[in-house]
Structure 1
Amino acid sequence: MSSTRLEALPHRHVLTLPTAPSAVRLSRQTAERALTEWGISLRHPAVDPALLILGELVTNSVRHAALLSPEVTVIYAAGADCLAFAVHDRHPYQPPLHTPVNDTGSGGLATVMELTLGLGGTAVVRGDADGQGKSIWITLPL
């Protein structure tokens, strides 16, 4: 999904939190509230995997980016047939999303990719213009 289409999604919410372990729980709770407000059932088959993916991505920011990124930002977006979210931090490292589970301890990202692709979704890493941060965008069909 192109960033232009993501910008066109009618529902959007942005949450910025300290890059601390509590960010994982708060980002998931915020996702549940936003989805409910947007009329997306928490029983939809894409929701539980989406929350797991979100938790993995925020956990990665907390574990690996906190030293350089005091905050993590989660962008939530949705439309009639699509759920999208991004996790952004200000650490310059852009992890490869298609790395086998056993390489370099990237089991969490391998799980993210397996769930995302299994649901027919997409994942992309976008670097910040200044090269000092990145966002990982996930889109899932509803």
Structure 2
Amino acid sequence: MSTQLEALPHRHVLTLPAMPAAVRTARQTAEQALAEWGINPRHPAIGPALLILSELVTNSVRHAAILSPQLTVIYAAGEDTLAFAVHDRHPHQPALYATVTDAASGGLATVMELTLGLGGTAVVRGDADGRGKSIWITLPL
């Protein structure tokens, strides 16, 4: 994780079964964490951020569950930054920035369009053993 993300004072980690209900739980947990951290739910980045999170969890459930029976969501925030990651144990690492021009990418294209539109960044970080990855999204607040 980058120094910037390590410096964020607020953090929450949630591990869920890779089942469709994980999408709702991840989103509700994000809403609760943001409220606890004093982040205005009406901030213009929050609606898109929740959609991005939902898409990433949906992708893990749809595409990684066969190799990854659970997924982990990491939430982090600071005064002017919101970050979150979705981690699973499937080895495929999508080329996020290639999805911007590839309409067939579905949910990841939406993730990237929203992330870039908000001035954010997206990074795929592989696990040390090569058998999993995290997709990190960082957005300005």
Same fold (TM over 0.5): yes
Say which SS state the counterpart of residue 25 (structure 1) adopts: helix
CA distance in 2, matches of 1:101, 1:41: 33
Cα distance per residue 1:4-43 (max 9 Å; x no partner): 2101100000000000000000000000000000000111
Instruction: Compute the displacement of 1:101 (Å).
Output: 3.3
> Segments of 4+ in structure 1 off by > 6 A?
none
Give the match for residue 27 of structure 2: 28
Question: What value does the CA root-mean-square deviation take over the aligned residues?
Answer: 0.9
Structure 2 residues without counterparts, runs of 5 or longer: none
Give the match for residue 72 of structure 1: 71
Give the match for residue 7 of structure 2: 8
Question: Aligned AA for 2:110?
Answer: T
Structure 1 residues without counterparts, runs of 5 or longer: none
TM-score, structure 2 as length reference = 0.96
Q: How many residues align?
A: 139
Residue pairs, 1:97-112, within 5 angstroms: 97-98=96-97, 99=99, 100-102=101-103, 105-112=104-111
CA distance in 1, matches of 2:74, 2:37: 14
Identity score, percent: 81
State whether structure 2 residue 89 is matched by structure 1 residue 86.
Answer: no
